[in-house]
């Protein structure tokens, strides 16, 4: 399968970021280290906005089993992070999952991973952005769609800047969101209403005012969303062409981000579960209301503003991530030639400016669309993507790849095999409508592959690996 891998051609004299010899793929600048990469990647996980926007939905369906479900999902993500670390150092491309899977498991598998990742990264930012209005409510009342569109446009402008500048911007915002999560954790533990045993009591408030039991099948179904909660650690592989010394920094960034984000998210969830006044309050998922009840309106306002900043932060990083994916797909000839040329253009600051606009402007428009099934489709997409990455990890130590310089996971091939089995089971427990939506999109993508990409396999969908990573 390695015939898809080719180095990016570079001239003997380094060109300006927005210029390159005719026919040469343009290159992103290596400008950030592990710390900068971790800040950007953590911001994509966006722990505080995940805690305040996504986790409340889990509280509504899983009640006291929410923390347990997230903990199980985080354990599974360790195995996923091992796969990303090995494959990301073996194939450090801005294409991320699709570059890794295309090179190791074949072009069709890589194309399907690309489509699944595009589903996740294109739709999630506007939906999270729409949550900004709720957390700005203590100061100003805004229409959620207008607020979300404004956040997406602001994130698009920031995404046009140099990546190093964005690392500092997102780093400052990240500090504020960690403070917000810490305040929630401290208040929750200080007002504990129940012991640690509640974390495994598996109860949720029923419609009749009594507690209902959360079944094991509900927990398994919820794992798709739990995987999505910490999913952002994979952003490190998208930044691999801009990380210094990618052979070592990619794995460090992936594993450090997963560890930090799990703590930032899981500790407050445990605190909320133990500190909620009653089961009905926990199931309602009104974290802001609980914070005010534990403290006062001023603290509640501070936390809400920190969350609003966290959402803006997430928007910036997701736009950065998504633009890199589109840039790489154009460089690897996934589209018609005029589209490829446009998406591969680099601007004054070395960022793919056309790809950034293609990501950000439609994202603003999506804020006006009803996306009720988003989390379900996203959960299915993330699970399917992880399954295909695990399949690719089984091929990472054969042939020419066996002796290549890369971080190597422990317990191989046991970890990839276990992940494949678990992800397949999680998919089997998802709602049919979510599976049909995702499957339908994958079927259309397969048709595009069969009619356009496969007949042109010598000139289309050729994964590029930067020349300085061929070591």
Question: Helices (H) and strands (E) in the chain — how many of each?
Answer: 20, 4
Residue 338's pLDDT is what? Answer: 93
| For residue 380, pLDDT beyond 70 | yes
CA separation (Å) from 66 to 52, 92, 138, 290? 13, 35, 28, 17
Q: Compute the CA torsion angle 28, 33, 39, 45 (nearest 10 deg).
A: 60
CA separation (Å) from 78 to 102, 287, 294, 391? 23, 28, 34, 16
Is 54 a domain residue? Answer: yes
Report which of residues 368 and 273 the model is more confident about. Answer: 273
Would you mind telling me the total number of residues written for the chain in this entry? 471
Structure tokens at 393: 């990890």
Is 21 a domain residue? Answer: no
By the 8 A CB rule, do 170 and 381 touch?
no
pLDDT digits (tens, 9 = 90+) for 280-312: 999 998 888 899 899 988 888 888 888 888 788
Overall average pLDDT of the 456-470 stretch: 74
Is 183 a domain residue? Answer: yes
Residue 404 belongs to domain spanning = 32-461
Q: How many domains does the chain have?
A: 1
| For residue 49, pLDDT beyond 80 | no
Instruction: Give the SS3 label for residue 409.
Output: coil
CA angle 255, 414, 91 (to 5 degrees): 50
Q: What is the mean pLDDT of the chain?
A: 84
**Residue 440 class from Cβ within 10 Å (0-12 exposed, 13-18 middle, 19+ buried)?**
exposed
In the structure, what pLDDT confidence band is assigned to residue 10 with cuts at 50, 70 and 90? very low
Q: How far apart, in whole angstroms, are the C-alpha atoms of residue 15 and residue 346?
A: 12
Is 148 a domain residue? Answer: yes
Residue 178, C-beta contacts closer than 8 angstroms, at least 6 positions apart: 47, 48, 264
Report which of residues 134 and 56 the model is more confident about. Answer: 56
Strands (E), 71-188: none
CA separation (Å) from 469 to 91, 94, 406? 8, 12, 11
pLDDT digits (tens, 9 = 90+) for 186-215: 999 999 998 888 898 889 987 666 788 889
pLDDT digits (tens, 9 = 90+) for 102-129: 989 999 999 999 999 888 877 888 878 8
For strand 464-465 and strand 211-213, is the pairing parallel, antiparallel, or unpaired? unpaired
Q: How far apart, in whole angstroms, are the C-alpha atoms of residue 158 and residue 145?
A: 20
CA separation (Å) from 180 to 303, 398, 454? 5, 46, 49
Is 415 a domain residue? Answer: yes
Is 302 a domain residue? Answer: yes
Q: How far apart, in whole angstroms, are the C-alpha atoms of residue 33 and residue 405?
A: 19
CA separation (Å) from 321 to 32, 159, 355? 14, 9, 10
**Residue 158 class from Cβ within 10 Å (0-12 exposed, 13-18 middle, 19+ buried)?**
buried
pLDDT digits (tens, 9 = 90+) for 14-32: 333 344 444 455 566 666 7
Residue 26's pLDDT is what? Answer: 57
By the 8 A CB rule, do 54 and 211 touch?
no
By the 8 A CB rule, do 268 and 181 touch?
yes
**Residue 295 class from Cβ within 10 Å (0-12 exposed, 13-18 middle, 19+ buried)?**
middle
Instruction: Give the SS3 label for residue 136.
Output: helix
Q: How far apart, in whole angstroms, are the C-alpha atoms of residue 107 and residue 338?
A: 22
CA angle 325, 15, 248 (to 5 degrees): 50
pLDDT digits (tens, 9 = 90+) for 57-76: 899 989 999 999 999 999 99
Residue 14's pLDDT is what? Answer: 37
Overall average pLDDT of the 345-350 stretch: 78
Residue 137, C-beta contacts closer than 8 angstroms, at least 6 positions apart: 304
Q: Which of 361-370, 417-426, 452-461 has the lowest mean pLDDT?
A: 361-370
Q: Which of 8-12, 155-159, 291-295, 339-343 has the lowest mean pLDDT?
A: 8-12
Overall average pLDDT of the 454-461 stretch: 91
Which contiguous run of DSSP H or E holds residue 45?
Answer: helix 34-45
Overall average pLDDT of the 67-96 stretch: 90
Q: Domain containing 270 — which CATH number?
A: 1.20.1740.10
Query: In terms of Cα–Cα distance, which of 239, 261, 283 is closest to 49?
Result: 261
Residue 15's pLDDT is what? Answer: 38
Is 470 a domain residue? Answer: no
Residue 152's pLDDT is what? Answer: 92
CA angle 235, 371, 119 (to 5 degrees): 35
Name the most confidently modeled range: 31-45, 288-302, 425-439. Answer: 425-439
Percent of the chain with pLDDT over 90: 35
Is 42 a domain residue? Answer: yes
């Amino acid at each position: 399968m390695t015939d898809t891998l080719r180095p990016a051609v570079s001239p003997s004299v380094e060109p300006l970021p927005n210029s390159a010899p005719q026919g040469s793929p343009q290159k992103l600048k290596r400008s950030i280290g592990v710390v900068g990469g971790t800040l950007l990647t953590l911001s994509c996980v966006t722990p505080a906005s995940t805690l305040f926007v996504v986790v409340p939905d889990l509280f509504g369906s899983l009640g006291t089993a929410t923390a347990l479900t997230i903990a199980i999902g985080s354990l599974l993500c360790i195995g996923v992070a091992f796969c990303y670390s090995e494959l990301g150092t073996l194939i450090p491309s801005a294409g991320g999952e699709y570059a890794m899977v295309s090179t190791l498991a074949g072009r069709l598998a890589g194309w399907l991973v690309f489509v699944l990742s595009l589903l996740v990264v294109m739709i999630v930012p506007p939906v999270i952005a729409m949550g900004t209005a709720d957390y700005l409510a203590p100061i100003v009342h805004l229409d959620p769609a207008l607020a979300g569109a404004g956040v997406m446009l602001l994130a698009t402008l920031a995404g046009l800047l140099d990546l190093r500048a964005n690392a500092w911007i997102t780093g400052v915002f990240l500090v504020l969101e960690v403070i917000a999560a810490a305040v929630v954790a401290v208040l929750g533990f200080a007002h504990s209403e129940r012991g640690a045993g509640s974390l495994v009591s598996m109860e949720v408030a029923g419609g009749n005012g009594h507690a209902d039991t959360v079944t094991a099948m509900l927990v398994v179904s919820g794992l798709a969303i739990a995987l999505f909660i910490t999913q952002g650690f994979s952003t490190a592989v998208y930044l691999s062409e801009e990380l210094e010394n990618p052979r070592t920094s990619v794995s460090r960034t992936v594993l450090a981000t997963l560890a930090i984000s799990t703590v930032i998210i899981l500790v407050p969830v445990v605190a909320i579960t133990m500190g909620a006044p009653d089961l009905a309050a926990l199931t309602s998922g009104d974290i802001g209301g609980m914070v005010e009840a534990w403290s006062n309106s001023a603290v509640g306002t501070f936390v809400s503003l920190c969350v609003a900043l966290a959402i803006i932060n997430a928007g910036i990083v997701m736009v950065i991530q998504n633009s890199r994916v589109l840039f790489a797909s154009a460089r690897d000839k996934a589209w018609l030639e005029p589209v490829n040329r446009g998406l591969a253009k680099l601007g004054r600051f070395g960022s793919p400016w056309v790809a950034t606009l293609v990501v950000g402007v439609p994202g603003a428009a999506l804020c006006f669309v009803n996306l009720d099934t988003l989390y379900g489709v996203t959960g299915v997409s993330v699970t399917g993507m992880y399954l295909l990455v695990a399949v690719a990890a089984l091929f990472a130590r054969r042939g020419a790849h066996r002796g290549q310089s890369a971080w190597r996971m422990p317990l191989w091939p046991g970890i990839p095999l276990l992940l494949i089995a678990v992800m397949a089971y999680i998919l089997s427990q998802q709602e049919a409508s979510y599976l049909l939506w995702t499957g339908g999109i994958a079927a259309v993508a397969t048709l595009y592959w069969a009619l356009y990409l496969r007949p042109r396999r010598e000139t289309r969908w050729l994964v590029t690996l930067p020349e300085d990573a061929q070591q």
